[in-house]
Every structure is written in C-alpha cells, then in structure tokens.
Amino acid sequence: MRWSRSLLVIPIAGLLAACGSGSAAPGMDRATTTERSLILTAFGDASATFGESQPFLELLTDQVDRTSESAYCTVVVEGDLYGQPVTVVVTGTGGGNSGPCTQEMLGWYSPNIKEVIWSGIGGATPAVGGMYDKAGRVLGNPEVMIGDVCVGVASWSWDLHFSNVNDWASRRNPPSDVYGPSGGWWEMVDSQGKQVVPGFQNVRQFVVTERALADEVLAASEGVSLPKRPASVTDKIARFHKNPKAWREPVYYSYRDCGGEVSGDDFWHGATEDRLARDYMSALMRSSGVNAKANPGDIVAFSAMEAVPWMSAVERWNARFKTTIPMVVIRAASNYDQIPLRANGQPVLNKRGKPMTAMQDILLGFDDTSSAYAAATAAAPVLRMFELRERA
C-alpha cells in the first residue's frame, strides 16, 4: 500500500501524545497555511549588529526568534518584510552548514514555502573575462568593482572539479590547455546530469534552477538605493584598477553574464583559479541553456562556499515532493578572487617586501567595511522586490 505523507503524520503525532512524549518536534507547531519566503545568509546575529543578515533583520517587523528550536541553523528569525511573511536564516559559513540548515527549514515550513533567496558576499574576478593573460599582463577588460552583484541561477562545485585536474589533464594528448572546459566535467556525472557511476546520484557537482525569481530580482535592481562606498573599499579597488575615471557605482550582473556561484569550501583564490572557474561556469551556462553563447572571456566569476549544498537540498526536495520552490543565489563582491600582479606578472610585494600570499590578499579585501558594504548591495534588490510586491 502506498501511504501519503499527510496520512503518516496523524498516527505518529497521536502515538507521541499518547505516550506522553512532550512537545512536538521543533518547527511542527508553526502555522502551515501562510506562504512564506526564506532568506538565507551565511553569517550574522539575531540582533542585527553585523553580517549578511543585518539588512533584512533591520527592516523585519513583528520578529519572533526561533533560533533555540533549530538544530542546524545559527539564527532563525520569523517576521514580516513589507507586510509579507519572511524567515531570515543564518546557516553558518560553508557547505557543511548551509546544506543541513536549508534541509531543516524545508522540513519546518513546507509545503508553504514561497521561495528561497540566498543573499551574501564573496569574491569576484577583477575584470569581465579575467584580468591577466597567461603571461600575467593586464588585459584591459571592463573592470569589476567591489560591491558588484551577481544575480545567479546556477552553482558549480569547484571542489569536485579542481580535485580532478590531474586525472583528466593526464589523459589529454597533448595537454596543451589543461584548464580548458572540455576536461572539466567530473566523470561520474556528465555535463547534462546523466549518471555514469551508480551510487553518486546524490552528489551534486552543479545545480541549475528556473529564472523567474532571478528576473524579478534583476527588475527590482533597477530602482535600488545604493549605500555610499567607504573610502577603504575604494582603496581596495585601486589596488587593481588604477584609473579613478573607471571607478563606478555597483552594477547587477544577470545570470547570462555571471551564471551564478562557483562554490567551494577550500576558498579558492588566484588568477589561474579564476580562469578555471570561468571555464567551468561558462560551460555549465552553455550546456544548461542559461546562455548558449557564454565563453570564459565574457563572464564574471563569483566565488563563495555555500551555494551547491543549499541549492541541491532545495532541488532534491522539489524532485522528491513534486514541488517547484523557486530559488536564486545573489552574491556581492566583497573582495577579488586573486592577488594583484605587477607589470612583469609577479605578485605585488607585501609590507615586508615579500610576495603577497593569497591569504594576505583575502584578509586585505575581506574586512568589516568591505563585507558590510557588499552585504548591503546584495540585499538592496531583494528588499526593493518586497517593497514593490507590497505596492502591487
């Protein structure tokens, strides 16, 4: 006999009550008839003193802090955003946190989840299509500013592919371009998502979602009020882009120009890694139909850590329960994904006269000022979208 999920809940709940088990499982007592948006972030606190969650919690009314009921999320706060039910969630940093937290929230609020929105910060290539050629010379491509935002519909697992570089590079004959996208597909699942090796069907190397929610965010971005750029952020831009005439206000890149997030817990960083990331993402964009003409020299790569796990949790939930929960991944550049190079292609020297390391560069580009500024530019179109919905 085939049982529905609704039929199973009643006897189990009754059995627990009969046995005097106490309260129901966390999240089970909340209303299930109101459609609710989930806004996911990686870091912040319930008091809205810092982090990616801060712009949302500052405007969230009628707040109810449910954090103590969660086993996997750092912060869970319910409320209203421009009169619409919203839960602002801090998952914690990294895929090991974003996946379990998202899965828990799906269990709490389904079947009445309106959408899942990720709003956060990350690294970005310093220029559209890359900043340096193979010799380390500056290409002069259009510049990317800190605070620029990718409104994406895809996530790509950097970790799975970079760990296989030597495997597929060794089979190329000759290995003239070991970082080309033709070698980048993980063999256990091909570029079309076809299963090759049994048992790996739940290992997600990429996720692609529908575009309607991303289109709504992009439309809202046209009317946003942007925060003033702090002087310290301008200093970081100047480390890469010397011409003040090229400095501009943040822009919102469509998924046709950035695809989404190249996601990895190893926090990849470097000019070679940037090129590889653009190879991966452009190949995914082409094969999935996001942008049939995408190539590495035309897109911006955005790096972060959480998208593949949380997006795959939603994707698998949709498939299992035959739902269509929309999702979008929004990333604002708080730092660049590589160190600046000198004219001869060598790394810029640090204060001790030594070549700058990737971690030193990350620390210079990722501080409280940069992260707060980028968190605000990422959140701006989402907040505007809710405001427009209220007016409609």
Residue 185: is its pLDDT beyond 50? no
The confidence band for 160, taking pLDDT boundaries of 50, 70 and 90, is confident
Task: Report the C-alpha gap between 89 and 239 in whole angstroms.
Answer: 34
The confidence band for 292, taking pLDDT boundaries of 50, 70 and 90, is very high
Mean pLDDT value across residues 56-77: 98
The confidence band for 188, taking pLDDT boundaries of 50, 70 and 90, is low
Mean pLDDT value across residues 128-155: 91
Closest CA to 358 of 269, 239, 275: 269
Asked if residues 64 and 142 have their Cβ atoms less than 8 Å apart, the reply is no
What CA–CA distances, in Å, run from 340 to 26, 78, 360? 48, 42, 11
Asked if residues 161 and 375 have their Cβ atoms less than 8 Å apart, the reply is no
Residue 209 has a pLDDT of 96
Quote the percentage of the chain above a pLDDT of 90.
60
The confidence band for 189, taking pLDDT boundaries of 50, 70 and 90, is low
Q: Cβ-count burial of 121 within 10 angstroms (0-12 exposed, 13-18 middle, 19+ buried)? A: buried
Residue 180 has a pLDDT of 41
Asked if residues 89 and 43 have their Cβ atoms less than 8 Å apart, the reply is no
Least confidently predicted of 25-39, 263-277, 350-364:
25-39
What CA–CA distances, in Å, run from 281 to 23, 158, 172, 178, 194? 46, 10, 21, 16, 18
The confidence band for 187, taking pLDDT boundaries of 50, 70 and 90, is low
The confidence band for 190, taking pLDDT boundaries of 50, 70 and 90, is low
The CATH architecture annotation of domain 36-154+207-270+300-391 reads 3-Layer(aba) Sandwich (3.40)
Task: Report the C-alpha gap between 310 and 330 in whole angstroms.
Answer: 13
Residue 163 has a pLDDT of 56
Residue 19: is its pLDDT beyond 80? no
Least confidently predicted of 84-98, 103-117, 271-285:
271-285
Residue 113 has a pLDDT of 98
- Can you read off the two tokens belonging to residue 190? 């091909």
The confidence band for 192, taking pLDDT boundaries of 50, 70 and 90, is low
Mean pLDDT value across residues 352-356: 86
Residue 317: is its pLDDT beyond 90? yes
Q: Which residue has the higher pLDDT, 365 or 235?
A: 235
Residue 274: is its pLDDT beyond 70? yes
What CA–CA distances, in Å, run from 234 to 124, 237, 248, 269, 313? 15, 5, 10, 21, 37
Task: Report the C-alpha gap between 67 and 86 in whole angstroms.
Answer: 15
The confidence band for 215, taking pLDDT boundaries of 50, 70 and 90, is very high
Residue 388 has a pLDDT of 97
- Can you read off the two tokens belonging to residue 95? 């895929």
Closest CA to 130 of 122, 119, 139: 139
Task: Report the C-alpha gap between 222 and 250 in whole angstroms.
Answer: 11
Residue 186 has a pLDDT of 52
Residue 134 has a pLDDT of 73
Closest CA to 325 of 79, 106, 82: 106
Asked if residues 110 and 317 have their Cβ atoms less than 8 Å apart, the reply is yes
Q: Is 353 helix (H, G, I), strand (E, B) or coil?
A: coil
Asked if residues 119 and 87 have their Cβ atoms less than 8 Å apart, the reply is no
Q: Which residue has the higher pLDDT, 18 or 156?
A: 156
Q: Is 367 helix (H, G, I), strand (E, B) or coil?
A: coil
Fill in the DSSP letter of residue 376. H
Quote the percentage of the chain above a pLDDT of 70.
81
Q: What is the DSSP track for 39-59?
A: EEESSB-TT-SSBTTHHHHTT
Asked if residues 207 and 99 have their Cβ atoms less than 8 Å apart, the reply is no
Least confidently predicted of 101-115, 169-183, 240-254:
169-183
Residue 18: is its pLDDT beyond 60? no
Task: Report the C-alpha gap between 339 and 102 in whole angstroms.
Answer: 33
Q: What is the DSSP track for 103-170?
A: HHHHHHHTT-EEEEEEEEEEEE-SBTT-SB-TTS-B--PPB--TT-EEEESEEEEHHHHHTTHHHHHT
Beta strands in the chain (DSSP E): 36-41, 61-65, 75-81, 84-90, 113-124, 149-152, 154-157, 206-208, 252-253, 260-263, 302-304, 327-336
Task: Report the C-alpha gap between 361 and 153 in whole angstroms.
Answer: 28
| Longest CA–CA separation in the chain, Å | 76
The confidence band for 386, taking pLDDT boundaries of 50, 70 and 90, is very high
Rounded mean pLDDT of the chain? 84
Sequence ranges of the domains in the chain: 36-154+207-270+300-391
For 365, phi and psi rounded to 5 degrees? Answer: -95, -10
